[in-house]
Amino acid sequence: MLTLKKRVLIIGGGPGGRFSYIALRRMGEKSLSIVMNEDPTVICSLPYSVGRKLIPGGPEEEVVDLANSDRLPPEIVEDAIRGVITELDAENHIARGMSTEGPFEIYFEKVLLAPGAVPWIPPVKGLLSDKEGYKQDLTEVMVGREYVSKEKLAENIFVMRGADDARALDAFAEKSGRAVVVGSGAIGLEVVEALHDRGLTVTLVEALPHLIAAMDQDMAEKVNDRLSEWGVSVYKNIQLTEVKPDRVILSDGREIETDGVVFATGVRPNVTLAQSAGLSVERGIVVNEKMQSSHPDIYVVGDAAQIRDAVTGRPILPLIGTLAMRQGLVASFNIMGQTMSLPPATVWGLSAIFDLHWGSVGWTEELANASDIQAFSLTLPYYTREKAMPNGKEGLWKIIVSATDEKGLKKGQIIGFQVVIDGESPLFLTERFIDIITRRETVFELFSHYFVHSPYHNTVEDPYLMLLFAAQEAMTH
C-alpha cells in the first residue's frame, strides 16, 4: 500500500481545491498532495461544451490537462492522486483512500477539505438500472437521501456536474431527438439551450410554481416567455414521477415522449467524510471566518462549507465556484500561518438563456416573505441604449428592501437584487450589487454610487437616484 507523509493534504479537485493548491505552492509550500475523484474541469462551462455553439470542440475543451495547464503549477502532476479518501482520522492525522492504482494512506499535518457537492435527484421510479456487475465509480449522486454511484443510473438518465457527465450528454445529443430537462436553475436552463442547439426537441419540467428559484415570479416569467419563443415546452408546478425507456410520467398522469432525461434538480453538500471525522455539520460543514472547521487542523472550502450570510447572519451554502476560490485563498493563508478572513458573502448567480441575460444577488422577495422578513420591492425599467436608438434592448431591475429594523436587518437595507436584460450582459451590474448587498447598504446609500452615462450604453436617467426616490416614497406610505 502506498504511504505518504505530507504537511498539507487537499481533498477535492474542484475550483476550491485546485485554487488552494495554486495558492499554497505560490506561498512556498512544497509538501502537498491533492486527491481528486475525476478529471478537473470548469463546471460552469460544461453545458456550453455540450451545445458546441460557443465551445465547438466539445467537453474535452473544458477538461484541465494537468501536465500542460497554464494555470496550475507543474508539480501537480506528481502531487495529484486520482481517487477518493474513504477515511479521515482527524485525531491521528491519517487519511486513507482508494486510487486507480490501489489503496493508499497519507499522514498529514493540515487538511484542506474541498469535497464539493453531489447532484441531487428526487427518488422517482425508473432512475436506477437493474443491471448487475457494474464497475464501482469514483463519483456519486444523491437519490433522495441515499448516495448512489453514477454507474447505477439507468442509461437514459443524465446529470451535469463533471467532465464525464458532459461527455455522456454530448454523446446522447449526437444520436437523440428528444430530451426532458428537470429543474430550471442556471445549469438546467443552460442544458436546455445546449440540447436545443444540437437540434433536439426539449421539454422543461419544474416542480416549483415558476422557473428559477433565485428570482421572483415577475422576473422569472420573462425567462419563461423567452423559452416559449424558442419552442421549448415548459411544465411548472408539477413533478416527474417515473422514467421509462421512451417517456416520462408526470404527477398528473400526463406522459412526455423522450429519449433521455437530464436532472438539474440541485446539489447537496458532500458531508459524509466530515461527519465520519467528527466535524461539526449542520446544513454543511461549519466553518469560521478563517475557513477553519471544528477541528483546528482541518479547513473546509467550496460547496460543502457552511458560512454566514452577510445579509442576515443566517447560515447558508452559497454553492459558487468563484467564492470557493476566495475561500481557498483564505484557508491557504491561515494554513501558512498568515491570518486572513473571508470577506462578507451571500448568494448570487448569473446566466443567460437564448440571449436573455439574468442575474440575482441575495434574497428574493418571495423567500423573505416565507422567512417572516418584512420587505418590499422596487422595479425599474432599464435600457441598453438611448431611447431614440432603434437597436437598444430593454431590461428590468428589481431590488428587495427591508421594511423594518427587525431580525438583524436595517430599515431600508437592500437585501436582494435581480436583473433581466435582453441581449446585454449584466455582469458588472451584478458585481456592483454584490458589493452593495454584502456591505449591508441601505437604499439611501445608493447616492454614493456614481452613474456613468453613455448614449451607446444606457439612457440619461440615473437608475440609482430613481431607485432612491422610489424607496423614499415607498417608505413614507
Please state the three-class secondary structure of 76-144 as a single string.
HHHHEEEEEEEEEECCCCEEEEEECCEEEEEEEEEEEECCCEEEEECCCECCECCCCCCCCCCCEEEEC
**140-143: Cβ within 8 A, 24+ apart:** 140/270, 142/118, 142/268
Grid coordinates in use for 375? 420587505
pLDDT at 137: 61
pLDDT at 247: 98
Identify the three-state secondary structure at position 54.
coil
pLDDT at 392: 87
Grid coordinates in use for 358? 439574468
CA distances from 71 to 90, 198, 224, 334 (A): 31, 31, 38, 22
pLDDT averaged per 10 residues, the chain (length 477): 96 97 97 95 95 97 90 94 96 96 96 97 93 65 94 95 96 98 98 98 98 98 98 98 97 98 97 97 98 98 98 97 97 98 98 98 97 96 89 93 93 97 94 98 95 91 91 85
Grid coordinates in use for 305? 462549507
pLDDT at 195: 98
Rounded CA separation 72/78 (Å): 12
Look at residues 72, 104, 261 and name the one whose alpha carbon lies nearest to residue 172.
261
CB of 214 closer than 8 Å to CB of 341: no
Q: For strand 201-206 and strand 178-182, is the pairing parallel, antiparallel, or unpaired?
A: parallel
Which amino acid is located at 448 in the chain?
S
CB of 241 closer than 8 Å to CB of 124: yes
Rounded CA separation 185/37 (Å): 25
Rounded CA separation 264/96 (Å): 32
CB of 118 closer than 8 Å to CB of 143: no
For 173, phi and psi rounded to 5 degrees? -65, -30
Query: Terminal CA-to-CA distance of the chain, rounded, Å?
Result: 72
Spatial neighbors of 346 by CB under 8 A, at least 6 apart, are 309, 310, 311, 316, 318, 361, 362, 434, 437, 438
Rounded CA separation 305/288 (Å): 10
Identify the three-state secondary structure at position 368.
helix
Spatial neighbors of 296 by CB under 8 A, at least 6 apart, are none
CA 148 to chain centre: 21
CB of 260 closer than 8 Å to CB of 242: no
> Percentages helix, strand, coil for the chain, rounded to the nearest 5?
25, 30, 40
pLDDT at 464: 92
Interhelix angle 186-197/163-175, rounded to 10 degrees, is 40
CB of 12 closer than 8 Å to CB of 299: no
The burial of 432, by beta-carbon neighbours within 10 Å (0-12 exposed, 13-18 middle, 19 or more buried), is given as middle
Say what the pTM is.
0.95
Grid coordinates in use for 168? 455522456
For 400, phi and psi rounded to 5 degrees? -110, 130
The burial of 417, by beta-carbon neighbours within 10 Å (0-12 exposed, 13-18 middle, 19 or more buried), is given as buried
- Within 13 Å and on the Cβ side, how many CA atoms surround 303? 20
Cell 455522456: give the residue.
Answer: 168
Beta bridge partners of 243: 248
How many other CB atoms are there within 10 angstroms of residue 50's CB atom?
31
Identify the three-state secondary structure at position 372.
coil
DSSP string, 245-293: TTEEEETTS-EEE-S-EEE---EEE--HHHHHTT--BSSSEE--TTSB-
Give the angle 181-348-237 at the CA atoms, nearest 5°. 35
Look at residues 408, 264, 429 and name the one whose alpha carbon lies nearest to residue 361.
429
